[in-house]
Structure 1
Amino acid sequence: MNTAYHLLSSAQPLGTSINERAAMLDKTRWASVFSFRELQNLASYLAAYKISEGTVILQEGARELYLCLLIEGKVNVLKKDSAQRDQLIAHVSAGMTLGEMALIDGQPRSATAVAATDAVLLIMSKDEFQRLVNDTPRLALKLYGHMASLLSQRLRQVSAKLADYLHDDGYLG
């Protein structure tokens, strides 16, 4: 296993072919963005893993740079509050991604992600992403655009929740 994923040391690599990984991608929201041929190309830069419930996928503050696409299972996302207690901030379900921010900006992880059930992940390391950029810049740009769209959607959702929270607590009129 690539050392970039040491948090996933208990993960079982799945010996899948490019076509099997492309078929996994084709069952996600990525299928609405990428053609099957593009999914096959992307699949060549991804590794498949099976993880057990309770496995830490991403650790807040860690500098490991990889993107995860959840194929099967559920993941809880936790963020430390000002008292350093883990607070559940999101549930991630099959077809959703984790780790885009660190892959894009190279900054430490902003939250911890823990498998709430047994799960299957497709993972792209920063090295593999860089290889994609070098090999197929147009596809890499399309992937960047897709990740930017996902992050934009999440920011909009968080902004709406923050506005509701501030309104409910009397901070906003």
Structure 2
Amino acid sequence: MPDPSLLSAEIRDMLMDCGLFDSLQPSDFQAVAGYFAITAMTEGQTIFAEGDAGTFMCILHRGVVSVRKTDGNGQQVEIATLRKGRAFGEMAVLDGERRSASCVAASDCQLLTLGKDSLDKMLNDAPRIAARIIRALAVALSKRLRMQDGQRLSQQV
């Protein structure tokens, strides 16, 4: 059985390393580490499937993740490749909708996962820090949306 304090320190370091939560204070990382878990995925393993209930989100710490959507012919089409530091699955956790795409480990991966129930618990236990986490996720989503809008515009020109 791993030492919980060592595990918590490892998660804290991974959260600090991902770059997503730069707005957090050093003490905040220690406080939120207990809400996250580390999950290992092997190459080819489905992390979640399009249409699944969004019960958790992930931050990719090591490896590569393929994001896939089903096209009109029922074929899985890769729409993005995710690398270290990228959060994914957060939309379904934040809005309660079903997964908009499938995510598959394109290599062996190490993920930080945050369950919807853990996020809700964090909101009750540490609302100030949870608000910073949610804001950081919202900013990351906003940047991705702006980038997609820019790509669409350049394709139309």
Normalised by the length of structure 1, the TM-score is 0.83
Offset of residue 108 of structure 1: 0.3
The separation in 2 between residues aligned to 1:60 and 1:51, in whole angstroms, is: 18
The separation in 2 between residues aligned to 1:34 and 1:141, in whole angstroms, is: 10
Matched-pair identity in %: 33
Unaligned runs of 5+ in 1: 1-12, 168-173
Aligned length: 154
- Give the secondary structure class of the aligned counterpart of 2:12: helix
Aligned-partner residue type, residue 95 of structure 2: D
**Match for 2:152 among 159, 162, 165?**
162
Q: How does 1:116-131 map to 2 (within 5 A)?
A: 116-131=106-121
- Give the secondary structure class of the aligned counterpart of 1:155: helix
Where relative contact order (Cα < 8 A, 6+ residues apart) is larger, the structure is: 2
Residue 53 (structure 2) pairs with residue 77 (structure 1):
no
Is the 8 Å Cα contact of residues 45 and 132 (structure 1) preserved in structure 2? Answer: yes
CA 1:82–1:165 in 2, change beyond 3 Å: closer, same or farther? farther
**Match for 1:143 among 121, 133, 145?**
133
Offset of residue 154 of structure 1: 0.8
Residue 12 (structure 2) pairs with residue 22 (structure 1):
yes
Q: How does 1:9-158 map to 2 (within 5 A)?
A: 17-158=7-148
Q: Deviations over 1:43-95 (max 9, x none)?
A: 11001011101111121000132110111111011111222221111111011
Normalised by the length of structure 2, the TM-score is 0.91
Runs of 4+ in 1 over 6 A off after TM superposition: none
Aligned-partner residue type, residue 156 of structure 1: R
The separation in 2 between residues aligned to 1:162 and 1:58, in whole angstroms, is: 27
CA 1:131–1:155 in 2, change beyond 3 Å: closer, same or farther? same
The separation in 2 between residues aligned to 1:78 and 1:128, in whole angstroms, is: 26
Offset of residue 157 of structure 1: 1.3
